[in-house]
C-alpha cells in the first residue's frame, strides 16, 4: 500500500475518534477558520468524498463527468441538519477510502485523472484527498485541542506536494528574494523564491544556510494558512514567520 493511502487510512480513523469526543450541541460552534462551523467543516469533508468518489468511478469506468453533479452534491449537503452533516460525513469519508483501497494494482497503474492543467496518477489522486481530509480534520480537532498537530505520516506525504499549492495560493510582496527553509520529521530542504509578481517553492538541492527551520507538519500548516500565532508551537520563534504568513495565506 502506498504511503498516501496508508496515511489516509489512518486519518479517516482519526477523524472518527475526534468526532466521538465532540458534544453534539457543539456542532454549530466555530471550527477553523471561524466562518465555518464544525458541522460545515464535516459537510465539506463529506461532500468532497462523494464528489471524489464519483470522479474516481468515472476514471475507472471511462464515463464522462456530469457537469451538474458537484453542485447537486453541495446543495444536498448544505440542506442537511448539523447532526446529519457530521454523521453522514464519517460514512462518506469511510466509503471513499473503501473505494480507493478496492482498486487492484493493475487498475492503479492505469489510473489517470485530469483536472485542469494537471494529470494525476492514482497516488496523486489519493494525495489530493489526503490534503483535504487531513487539513479539515485538523480544523475540527483544534477546537478540542489548541495544540493539535498534523499526523507525521500525513505530513510526510503532503510536504512533497506543497510546491503545487504555493504556486497557486502564495502572494508576493513585490520584493525579489529567496528564503531557505528546512523541515524536520521528516527532513526536507526547500527554497521559497519571491519574484516581483509570483512565489515559487522548490526543493533545495544545493544546501547552504537555513533561514527558518520548523517541523514538517508545521510547514504544511503554514502553507495552508493554519500556522497563525495562536497555533504556532512555542518553540518556533523566527524573524521570518510574519513575512511567511503574509505570503502564504492558505487555501
Do 20 and 140 share a domain, yes or no?
yes
Distances (CA, A) of 210 to 170, 189, 191, 199, 218: 20, 9, 9, 18, 16
Unique residue bearing C-alpha cell 497503474: 109
Q: Is residue 154 part of a domain?
A: no
DSSP annotation of 187 reads: T
Task: Evaluate if residue 1 carries a pLDDT over 60.
Answer: no
Do 10 and 113 share a domain, yes or no?
yes
Residue 144, all three cell numbers: 478540542
Query: Among 42-46, 53-57, 134-138, 164-168, whose mean pLDDT is lowest?
Result: 164-168
Q: Is residue 153 part of a domain?
A: no
Other beta carbons within 10 angstroms of residue 223's beta carbon come to 26
Residue 150 CA to residue 55 CA, distance in Å, equals 27
User: Is 93:46 a contact under the CB 8 Å cutoff?
Assistant: yes
Residue 159, all three cell numbers: 510536504
Do 57 and 117 share a domain, yes or no?
yes
User: Is 208:178 a contact under the CB 8 Å cutoff?
Assistant: no
The pLDDT tens digits for 151-172 are 999 999 999 999 999 988 999 9
Q: Is residue 99 part of a domain?
A: yes
Do 24 and 85 share a domain, yes or no?
yes
Do 166 and 140 share a domain, yes or no?
no
Q: Tell me: cis bond preceding 33? Omega within 30 of 0 counts.
A: yes
Do 15 and 70 share a domain, yes or no?
yes
Do 169 and 127 share a domain, yes or no?
no
How crowded is the C-beta side of 95, counted as CA atoms within 13 Å?
18
Which CATH number belongs to the domain containing residue 178 in this structure?
Answer: 3.30.1050.10
Q: Check residue 222 and give its pLDDT.
A: 98
Do 18 and 135 share a domain, yes or no?
yes
Q: What are the beta bridge partners of residue 200? A: 193
The pLDDT tens digits for 109-163 are 999 999 888 899 999 999 999 999 999 999 999 999 999 999 999 999 999 999 9
User: Is 216:183 a contact under the CB 8 Å cutoff?
Assistant: yes
Structurally, the chain folds into a number of domains equal to: 2
**Is the alpha carbon torsion for 204, 10, 126, 172 positive or negative?**
negative
Question: Which domain covers residue 74, as residue numbers?
Answer: 3-148
Q: Which stretch of DSSP H or E encloses residue 194?
A: strand 188-194
SS3 36: coil
| Arithmetic mean of pLDDT, 95-104 | 98
Listed residues 118, 148, 178: the one ending a domain: 148
Amino acid at each position: 500500500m502506498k504511503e498516501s493511502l496508508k496515511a489516509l487510512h489512518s486519518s479517516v480513523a482519526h477523524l472518527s475518534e475526534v468526532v466521538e469526543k465532540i458534544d453534539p450541541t457543539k456542532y454549530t460552534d466555530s471550527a477553523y477558520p471561524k466562518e465555518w462551523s464544525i458541522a460545515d467543516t464535516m459537510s465539506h469533508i463529506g461532500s468532497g468524498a462523494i464528489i471524489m468518489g464519483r470522479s474516481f468511478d468515472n476514471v475507472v469506468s471511462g464515463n464522462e463527468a456530469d457537469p451538474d453533479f458537484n453542485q447537486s452534491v453541495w446543495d444536498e449537503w448544505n440542506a442537511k441538519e448539523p447532526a446529519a452533516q457530521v454523521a453522514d460525513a464519517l460514512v462518506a469519508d469511510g466509503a471513499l477510502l473503501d473505494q480507493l483501497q478496492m482498486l487492484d494494482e493493475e487498475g492503479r497503474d492505469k489510473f489517470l485523472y485530469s483536472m485542469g492543467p494537471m494529470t494525476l496518477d492514482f497516488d496523486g489522486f489519493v494525495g489530493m484527498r489526503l490534503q483535504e481530509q487531513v487539513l479539515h480534520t485538523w480544523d475540527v480537532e483544534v477546537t478540542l485541542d489548541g495544540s493539535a498537530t498534523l499526523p507525521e505520516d500525513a505530513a510526510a506525504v503532503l510536504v512533497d506536494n506543497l510546491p503545487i499549492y504555493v504556486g497557486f495560493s502564495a502572494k508576493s510582496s513585490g520584493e525579489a528574494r529567496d528564503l531557505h527553509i528546512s523541515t524536520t520529521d521528516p527532513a526536507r530542504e526547500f527554497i521559497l523564491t519571491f519574484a516581483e509578481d509570483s512565489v515559487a517553492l522548490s526543493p533545495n538541492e544545493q544546501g547552504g544556510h537555513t533561514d527558518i527551520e520548523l517541523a514538517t507538519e508545521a510547514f504544511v500548516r503554514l502553507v495552508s494558512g493554519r500556522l497563525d500565532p495562536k497555533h504556532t508551537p512555542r518553540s518556533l520563534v523566527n524573524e521570518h514567520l510574519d513575512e511567511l504568513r503574509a505570503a502564504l495565506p492558505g487555501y
